[in-house]
Structure 1
Amino acid sequence: PQTQGKIERWHQTLKNRVLLENYFLPGDLEQQIEAFVEHYNHQRYHESLDNVTPADAYFGRAPAIIKQRERIKRKTLEYRRLQHRRLAA
C-alpha cells in the first residue's frame, strides 16, 4: 500500500503541474512532461529524502550534501551566539 500511495502522489503532482497549461499539439504536452520529470528528479528537494533531490540520493551525493548543510548550520549558530553575546554585554 505504501508504494502505491507514493506513485499516486507523484501522478497527482504531475497532473497539478502539467494541467495548468493548454496544449495544442501532443509534442507540447510531451515536452512539458519531460521538463516536469527533469525538475522533479534534479532540482526539486524532497522532504522524505532529507531535502535532497532524488538524483542526489540515487547517485550517492546525499550524505555529503547533508554533512555540508550541518557544517554551515553549526557555523551560523556559533556566529549568531557570538553576536548575541556581544550585543548583550
Structure 2
Amino acid sequence: MPSHELVDYIKDNNMSHVRGAPYHPQTQGKIERWHQTLKNRILLENYFLPGDLERQIEGFVEHYNHERYHESLSNVTPADVYFGRAQSILNRRERIKAKTIEHRRMCRVANPLGQYRKAVA
C-alpha cells in the first residue's frame, strides 16, 4: 500500500500509479534493464570501502541520465527529455541532416564521376 504522501503527490500531479506483475521481469522491462546495465558497470571494478561503491553508483547515474543517449528516446538523454530540450535537439539534427544531404547532392551534381576517379593508363 503506498504512503499517503505518495498518494497525495500522485493526485496533485495528475499522475497514476501503475504496478507491474510481481516476479514477472517482462512487465518490469525498463527498470530490469537499468538494473542489468548498472550491475554490469559496477562489477567491472573492486570496491574496498562503501564510499567507493557509492561514488561509482552516483557517477553511473549521472552518466546514464545526463550523458548517455538512449535509443528509445530518439537518441537524446533522459535529462534532455525531462528539461524539455529534446525537441529542439531533434529539430537541430534534422536541419543539419538536410544541409548535409543537400551538400552531398550538390557535390554529385558538380562532379558526377566522383572526385576520386583514377586516370586510366
Q: Which TM-score band applies after superposition, normalised by the shorter structure? A: over 0.9
The total of aligned residue pairs comes to: 89
Cα RMSD after superposing both structures: 1.3
In 1, Cα distance between the equivalents of 2:60 and 2:103?
A: 39
Equivalent residue number for residue 77 of structure 1 = 101
Find runs of 4+ consecutive structure 1 residues off by over 2 angstroms: none
Find 1:67's aligned residue among 85, 91, 94: 91
| Structure index of larger Rg | 2
In 2, Cα distance between the equivalents of 1:44 and 1:3?
A: 24
Cα gap change, 1:3/1:68 in structure 2, threshold over 3 Å: closer, same or farther? farther
User: Structure 1: which 5+ residue stretches go unaligned?
Assistant: none
In 2, Cα distance between the equivalents of 1:66 and 1:51?
A: 9
User: Structure 2: which 5+ residue stretches go unaligned?
Assistant: 1-19, 21-25, 114-121
Cα gap change, 1:3/1:61 in structure 2, threshold over 3 Å: closer, same or farther? farther
The structure with higher relative contact order (CA 8 Å, sep 6+) is 1
After TM superposition, the score normalised by the length of structure 1 is 0.95
Give the C-alpha shift of residue 85 in structure 1.
Answer: 1.0
In 2, Cα distance between the equivalents of 1:87 and 1:21?
A: 53
